[in-house]
Chain A
């Protein structure tokens, strides 16, 4: 998942970026509204964290510009002023949720996860495609109730595919959304990871949870369980 952080206070931005990278997110950083606007429009962002008090272009204006340009990714606003007036204004401008500074990193991560799954139409924090369950909060995967041990890389890939269950996800999209700029796009890391995930989810090769569509990408072909 690719997160854009637009925050002018360097210590907080660096801290947030480090925390999110550690959680397996690909992170873009912007120190003011103008850079943020450009990054949000040019890159495949899954979710943005925007501070309301930014130099050059306020957070509120930034959100309005993105929304006017048709950018639909969810936005979480950070505000130092906890007044409801500011929250309402931010949400009306096009943000999806808010956090009042100072906040706990756990809280931020939970909000981001919720925004990401809501954007893909998941109502609960457990993605359920019978018989696979992926718990976004606990970052745990089970098949028929049995825990499956995944590495961090594997988990992130499966999480992305599960969030978009039923949709074809191209390799370019996967590299765009899961990896930072310096990722080697020509390597066959993705094929290797998908192969490993398949074996771990489906050791008996009866389930075939992820199908490969030649030249187009991958798709989780399990049905989403009704909420």
Chain B
């Protein structure tokens, strides 16, 4: 048993490529983690971007409000010069280095007013004045100066009915508070994304471990089978694994049954050869007349021959195959019948094969040749003119079954003789050639190996009909 299981396991593991490959769990974990990280990363980036944009929009709006405030406060004095009051509603314009700055220039870039906050400050060059009625927002951060946001706004100031003056108002704000706000947001954002990411990875790892548990179980059980601690994979297994575990179990059972058949055949063989050997030895040791020794020899050799033939054929049965493709029955039937026709050419028998062309069997070709050959051989021996093989599928209590009928038009088999001909070495008529083991072999194959039935009945023409029913 251990050796068979080891062979099965060796077969299964040989399916894996020889080089070391990442485990399923590693692959799944790696792939899922990458997807998760990419997703969270993109989420973070877009959140950051949205925050930055909305903050910038707010800043622009505030600067615009400052421009309007300055515009509202600006006046022309009697001389027609542009002035702004000393005390502005926004105190930061008056405080040097406050971070909020303003200046107003005339048509030719002539400086008209600078906020007191600009005192001693070098700001990046102000952007070109926009067209009248338009604003221009610039993020200026040249090296060596304080980075600022600048908003420029140009107005045409109506002095009299057809006289205009053009002023451009600039308001600038230091970028420092914005940058601080942004980096604090960033810290919070990534912090909050990292925690769920780690949690998700952990959960995912646990899910994978849980999902792959049946596979680990298969591996463990295979090891146990190899070690001889158990004989099959014991479930329950999830639906996706059932084809694998069922087939493995079928394979294991098959080799087990095979082995049992071999053992049984060997045991039977040894057992049933010992009696004739004992008889022969006794005959040799006693002063037996030559003629009697001859008789004894003949009898015992005949018996031993039968035993050997029967047990070996039994052991040779392959049995239902777990992973083999279904076999079409018709070609097998035709080959066997053609062979019989050749062997019984003398008898000018008519052979008919009526097998559904689509009928398939799940088993070994040799076993089915054995069944059909022995049934056919028997039919040929008794038939007068015709041997018919019919086969068809039929509904069975559980699933479907295949029915094989071998019919002859011979004398038929009386009911009381059925047990005799099914027994090993049982022959109705010893003058007909044969060992008398054919039907016993068929019965063993059908009933013990394929779990079917063999019935002996009458054919429509009054001859014998051997019916084999096999579960599909």
Contact = CB atoms under 8 A, between A and B. Distances in A.
A88 B335 contact: yes
A95 to B, nearest CB: 8
| Main DSSP-derived SS at the B contact region | helix
A85 B335 CA distance: 10
A83 B438 CA distance: 11
Nearest to B437: A82
B369 interface: yes
Contacts, number: 51
A148 interface: no
B441 to A, nearest CB: 9
B370 A84 contact: yes
B365 interface: yes
| Contact size range, A | 10 to 19
A92 B335 contact: yes
Interface in B284-314: 301, 305, 309, 312-313
Given A88-B336, A107-B433, A82 B313 contact: yes
B311 to A, nearest CB: 11
A42 B212 CA distance: 71
B433 A114 contact: no
Contacts of B336: 84, 88
Interface in A80-107: 81-85, 87-88, 91-92, 96-98, 100, 102, 107
A46 B345 CA distance: 18
Contact of A98 (B343, B369, B433): B343
B366 A91 contact: no
Nearest to B341: A91
A107 B312 CA distance: 22
A123 interface: yes
B342 A85 contact: no
Given A85-B366, A92-B335, A118 B372 contact: no
B471 interface: no
A98 B309 CA distance: 15
A226 to B, nearest CB: 14
Contacts of B346: 114, 118, 123
Contact of B316 (A83, A91, A92): A83
Contact of B342 (A96, A114, A123): A96
A40 B433 CA distance: 29
Given A100-B309, A118-B346, A123-B348, A85 B370 contact: yes
Nearest to B366: A85
A124 to B, nearest CB: 8
B339 A87 contact: yes
B383 interface: no
Contacts of A96: 342-343, 345
Contact of A97 (B305, B312, B343, B369): B343
Given A82-B313, A98-B343, A123-B348, A88 B305 contact: no
| Contact size range, B | 20 to 34
B374 interface: yes
B410 interface: no
A102 B305 contact: yes
A107 B346 CA distance: 16
Interface in A41-75: none
Contacts of B369: 83-85, 88
Nearest to B371: A84
B319 interface: no
B291 to A, nearest CB: 18
B152 interface: no
B305 A85 contact: no
A172 to B, nearest CB: 30
Contact of A118 (B312, B345, B370): B345
Contact of A92 (B309, B339, B348, B374): B339
A31 B338 CA distance: 31
A98 B377 CA distance: 12
B373 interface: yes
A136 B145 CA distance: 130
Contacts of A91: 338-339, 342-343
B370 A83 contact: yes
A84 B316 contact: no
Contacts of B345: 96, 118
A87 B373 contact: yes
B365 A84 contact: no
A91 B313 CA distance: 19
Chain A CB count within 10 A is highest, among B312, B346, B374, for B346
- Top 6 A-B pairs, shortest CB-CB distance: A84-B373, A85-B366, A84-B369, A91-B339, A88-B339, A85-B369
29 contacts: A82-B309, A82-B312, A82-B313, A83-B313, A83-B316, A83-B369, A84-B336, A84-B369, A84-B370, A85-B365, A85-B369, A87-B339, A87-B373, A88-B335, A88-B339, A88-B373, A91-B338, A91-B342, A91-B343, A92-B335, A92-B338, A92-B339, A96-B345, A97-B343, A100-B309, A102-B305, A107-B433, A114-B346, A123-B348
Given A84-B366, A91-B338, A102-B305, 20 more contacts: A82-B309, A83-B316, A83-B369, A84-B336, A84-B339, A84-B373, A88-B335, A88-B369, A91-B342, A91-B343, A92-B335, A92-B338, A96-B342, A96-B343, A98-B343, A100-B309, A114-B346, A118-B345, A118-B346, A123-B348
